[in-house]
Amino acid sequence: MSDPLRDPAEFPRRLYVRTFGCQMNEYDSLRVQRLLAPLGYVTVDEIEDADVIFLNTCSVREKAEQKVHSFLGRLRRLKNRRPHLKIIAGGCVAQQLGEKLLSRFEHLDIVLGTRGIGSIARLLEEVLEGGPRVACLPEADPSLAPGEEAFAEGNISAPVTIMQGCNNYCTYCIVPYVRGPERSRPVGEILREIRSLEDSGVREILLLGQNVNSYGRGLKDRATFVDLLRLIARETGVQRVRFTTSHPKDLTEDLMLCFAELGVLCKHLHLPVQSGSDRILSAMNRCYTAGDYLGKIRRLRAICPEIALTSDVIVGFPGESEEDFTGTMDLLREVRFDNLFSFRYSDRPNTRASAFPDKVDPAIGTRRLVELQSFQAEITLEKNLAETGLFREVLVEGPSKASNGQMTGRTTQNRIVNFEAPEWTSGKIVTVKITGAYSHSLRGSVILGPSTRPGNPITP
């Protein structure tokens, strides 16, 4: 009898991918699918069916890391039932713990560091051939050859990593330790990847980096992030470009002007502020004051009044007083973000803040978080309600998961809209009249007729 794992011609090999953490990890998980496809792997939705499980892990907060440990723990039983199952852990917990993760979970076969994704096919083959369990944590990341980038088939919107790592060392953050120093990918490689995504039907790209504003430092091309945006607008045919994340200290006037000048650039900026207190911002090593931040927001809104703004906030940072917290609430009141991601501070290994005195009582941190989140929820809903009656251009991404027969897409400001439309509208920009608003999405009805975008006729 053929061995289901050694004979992909007769039995497809089934890959189950579970991703925790940020869009960087989403991108790497798409790469894993692409890298394993030549070995015959198809991605399945049910973990019970898997021959190989790839778990992409996150360690940005303690809770995220706990989720990974409990997920891995639960896989022990599955492996007992399916002894041929191979389990691979990648991402930031894998990078942080390396060999320790292998010894802690004896049913884990491969630990792959954040720069080890490119080796996945070789390592998996070796393990399938009876090789030992292995932790692979390379120091350097080779550039991505064609065919090694993320898997994009069927996607309308796709991520493209433009830089890895981070040099900012915000005192709370583990990312520089697990993702290494900042490295930018060469312009040519990025443009080539975008063109190949276009060929496979992608209409929108999301440029990824921990701090995209510093893109290009150390590159031979001498290109800046603004140069890269202009090149993408000029030399590729993608209809929409988004990017994340920007660091407020590096947000330049030039980049702000791109929102007014470049038609392909979506009118949305994610600009994490973290706190509204200068004392806390300084302890976080963020290198700007609340006043600097507000000044940049004012300027940006003057340049591009319709821009949507989202942000990240941490409450309960060591030493945060009620007054500091009030400063954060005041900033939220002043900016009125369209959406916000907020977290209670969590100690991370190696970070400077983990050694700071004056840790905030977790109960106080939680109380502040609840207060902040309910305040922001009102603003988010008010802003969504204000969309009612407006006509918005929506890039249709496909059938909506939630509601039957509906299609889903996003406005340039990044709001999700669900509406009735034929499936062939997928990948097109349509005009939608917004008819209803909820906390996380909008409802609308499509205005049939030629789209306002040239070269994008709304006909099948």
Choice between 178 and 309, CB closer to ligand SF4: 178
> Rounded to an integer, what distance in angstroms lies between the CA atom of residue 27 and that of residue 25?
5
- Taking CB under 6 A as the rule, does residue 168 contact ligand SF4? yes
> Rounded to an integer, what distance in angstroms lies between the CA atom of residue 353 and that of residue 234?
43
> Rounded to an integer, what distance in angstroms lies between the CA atom of residue 367 and that of residue 303?
37
Q: How far is the CB of 299 from ligand F3S (least distance, A)?
A: 29
Per-residue string for binding with ligand F3S, 60-89, x by CB under 6 A?
x-----------------------------
The phi and psi torsions of 341 (rounded to 5 degrees) equal -110, 120
416-420 and 442-447 as β-strands: parallel, antiparallel, unpaired? parallel
Q: Does residue 66 sit in helix, strand or coil? A: helix
Per-residue string for binding with ligand SF4, 238-257, x by CB under 6 A?
---------x----------
From ligand SF4, ligand SAH, ligand F3S, none, which one binds at residue 165 (CB under 5 to 8 Å depending on kind)? none
Among 173, 228, 307, 340, binds ligand SF4 (CB under 6 A): 173
Q: How far is the CB of 182 from ligand F3S (least distance, A)?
A: 13
> Rounded to an integer, what distance in angstroms lies between the CA atom of residue 352 and that of residue 149?
34
Per-residue string for binding with ligand F3S, 306-345, x by CB under 6 A?
----------------------------------------
Ramachandran assignment for 398, one of left (phi > 0), alpha (psi -120 to 50 degrees), beta (any other): left
Instruction: Give the count of beta carbons closer than 10 Å to the beta carbon of residue 190.
Output: 25
> Rounded to an integer, what distance in angstroms lies between the CA atom of residue 276 and that of residue 148?
42
Q: Does residue 18 sit in helix, strand or coil? A: strand
- Taking CB under 6 A as the rule, does residue 175 contact ligand SAH? yes
- Taking CB under 6 A as the rule, does residue 277 contact ligand SF4? no
Sorted by sequence, the CB contacts under 8 Å of residue 60 that are 6+ apart come out as 21, 22, 92, 173, 174, 175, 348
Could you list the beta-strand ranges (E) of 167-323: 183-184, 204-208, 240-244, 268-270, 308-315
- Taking CB under 6 A as the rule, does residue 343 contact ligand SAH? yes
Q: How far is the CB of 439 from ligand SAH (least distance, A)?
A: 21
> Rounded to an integer, what distance in angstroms lies between the CA atom of residue 21 and that of residue 312?
14
Site for ligand SAH in 130-169 (CB under 6 A): none
Q: How far is the CB of 288 from ligand SF4 (least distance, A)?
A: 12
DSSP secondary structure code for residue 39 in this structure: G
Q: How far is the CB of 323 from ligand SAH (least distance, A)?
A: 20
Instruction: Give the count of beta carbons closer than 10 Å to the beta carbon of residue 54.
Output: 28
> Rounded to an integer, what distance in angstroms lies between the CA atom of residue 5 and that of residue 10?
10
Choice between 156 and 175, CB closer to ligand F3S: 175
- Taking CB under 6 A as the rule, does residue 24 contact ligand F3S? yes
Stretch that binds ligand F3S, among 170-178, 246-254, 309-317, 429-437 (CB under 6 A): 170-178
From ligand F3S, ligand SAH, ligand SF4, none, which one binds at residue 176 (CB under 5 to 8 Å depending on kind)? ligand SF4
| Residues making contact with ligand F3S (CB under 6 A) | 21-22, 24-25, 58-60, 91-92, 174-175, 178-179
| Residues making contact with ligand SAH (CB under 6 A) | 60-61, 172-173, 175, 210-211, 245, 247, 272, 274, 312, 314, 343, 345-346, 348
